[in-house]
Amino acid sequence: MKPYSLAEVAQSLGIAHWQKEQVWPSSVIRGRTHYAHAAWHELSSPIDCVSHGRQALAQDDEISQAIGAAHEAFLVWRNWPAPRRGQVVKAIAAQVAQHKTELARLIVLEAGKIESEALGEVQEWIDLCDLALGQSRQLHGLVIASERPEHRLIEQWHPLGVVGVITAFNFPVAVWAWNAMLALVCGDAVVWKPSEKTPLTALACMHLVSKVLHEQGAPAGLVSLLQGDAQIGQQLAQHPTIALLSATGSCRMGRAVAQHVAERFGRSLLELGGNNALIITPGADLALAIPAIVFSAVGTCGQRCTSLRRLIVHESLIDAVCQQLVGIYGQLKIGDPRHTETLVGPLIDGIALQAMKNKIKEAIQDGGTVLCGGQVVIGVPVGHYVQPAIIRMPGQTAAMMEETFAPLLFVLSYRTLAEAIALNNEVPQGLSSAIFTQDQREAEQFISAVGSDCGLANVNVGTSGAEIGGAFGGEKATGGGRESGSDAWKNYMRRSTNTINYGASLPLAQGVHFDVKPDPE
């Protein structure tokens, strides 16, 4: 298959004309593109480092316009019946489905994912629309028993306001969809700041969504896009009109966002770093475990927040497991992700490559032994291609406490399950975890209150590849946020507790007496 180009994909998605004199728009507000020329940066593909032109960066006036337009749209949108809002999201899903292949190919070109993973990410957007459509008829509260006679106590959920969304490069479509589609059915407006590494995918998403919103008669400004760097994220965090700021990225970024939002008593929803572990017990089915380990560790070139970083293997199996993994790693097809046989594409940039090299050196200094990988791949396009690495460690060291966004897997042994769970929980992050066992007691202990302390705790499933029906997120330094399924929709709404007295007297709660009689007329 002939590798496709950005020009071809942009043309098929209808955004080619948005590039004016090699400059891509800095913002999309009220469905219109804007081109700021005060600041910009060069774009290139991680596949071959070929230039994609220049990306203009949004300026202060555009940020104010986007937030103002979103607030105006919210005042109208919140009055639309939720099922009607769900129909708009349904129409978005149909539009995305028509352009699934082209959008996936743009993800490949910008993020370096293999096409199968990129197609899966676009499908995740479509699936999330299905979930949001159903949720639009289930935004229900509670009827609560009142202790007072002739009183009714109820709980309602109302639209929240303007939702800011900051997303990372590794999932430039799915994480945006988790937030935006639920926010829309909940009655909110959305202002999106995507990663500066994947701005064209965001432009394509905005093109598809803006088209649907216009056709459906939704208020202008309901969804806006701001291209830029961390400065825009900081302004979103500090702006009092942003009712909720959902941010996906590093722990460092999340800490700064949380502080700014907390200073103004706003809400933040954080999905931050992961440092995920998988435990192999003596009775594990290795025919299941080995493929799960490989996909979790090297999928998306190790650049998922749920990527496997630490493999904790019982001492009776560690030699056999390492031998199998080294053999499979040696057969992995690394190269241009546009080719169907490729399983591992490039790292996003040279910074990621250098971070991986530095971490390998640190692990060796800590007594680790490199079993395979870590070398730059020769004979592929000019990009940042690396052989996924496995390092056997004498124990859990300082090198393993931080997340390295690369295909780097540390392996260590354990004797008792309690020891393995302690190793799983020892790191600051708490996103994803897994155990492979055929012993029900071990499985139940791992997912119990004394087991894994992560937001995701899987049994006989890898750490990566969550379904949209469950709430996604983690604890500790991962930020505590929950997105996607379950009751994550509640993040995008405000709760109102209502007491209704339909009687002729005024009893107080808790038996309080406060007798005040009005003067007779």
Q: Cβ neighbours of residue 141 under 8 Å, at least 6 residues apart?
A: 154, 155, 156, 157, 495
Active site residue 305: yes
Cβ proximity of 120 and 459 under 8 Å:
no
Within 10 Å of residue 54's Cβ, how many Cβ atoms? 16
Burial class (CB in 10 A: 0-12, 13-18, 19+), 440: exposed
Which of 115, 117, 271, 483 is catalytic? The answer is: 271
Q: How far apart are CA 93 and CA 177, in angstroms?
A: 10
Is 271 known to be catalytic? Answer: yes
Residue 477's closest CA among 278, 271, 256?
Answer: 271
d(CA 243, CA 239): 9
Token pair for 306: 């749920």
- The answer to whether 382 and 48 have CB atoms below 8 angstroms apart is yes
Determine contact, residues 348/197, Cβ cutoff 8 Å.
Answer: yes
Q: Exposed/middle/buried for 439, CB within 10 Å: 0-12, 13-18, 19+?
A: middle
37 touches 229 (CB < 8 A): no
Tell me the residue length of the chain.
521
Give strand pairing partners of 393.
none
Q: Which of 129, 301, 305, 454 is catalytic?
A: 305
Cα–Cα dist 381/45, whole Å: 11
Which residues on adjacent β-strands are paired with residue 434? 278, 458
Which positions are catalytic? 271, 305
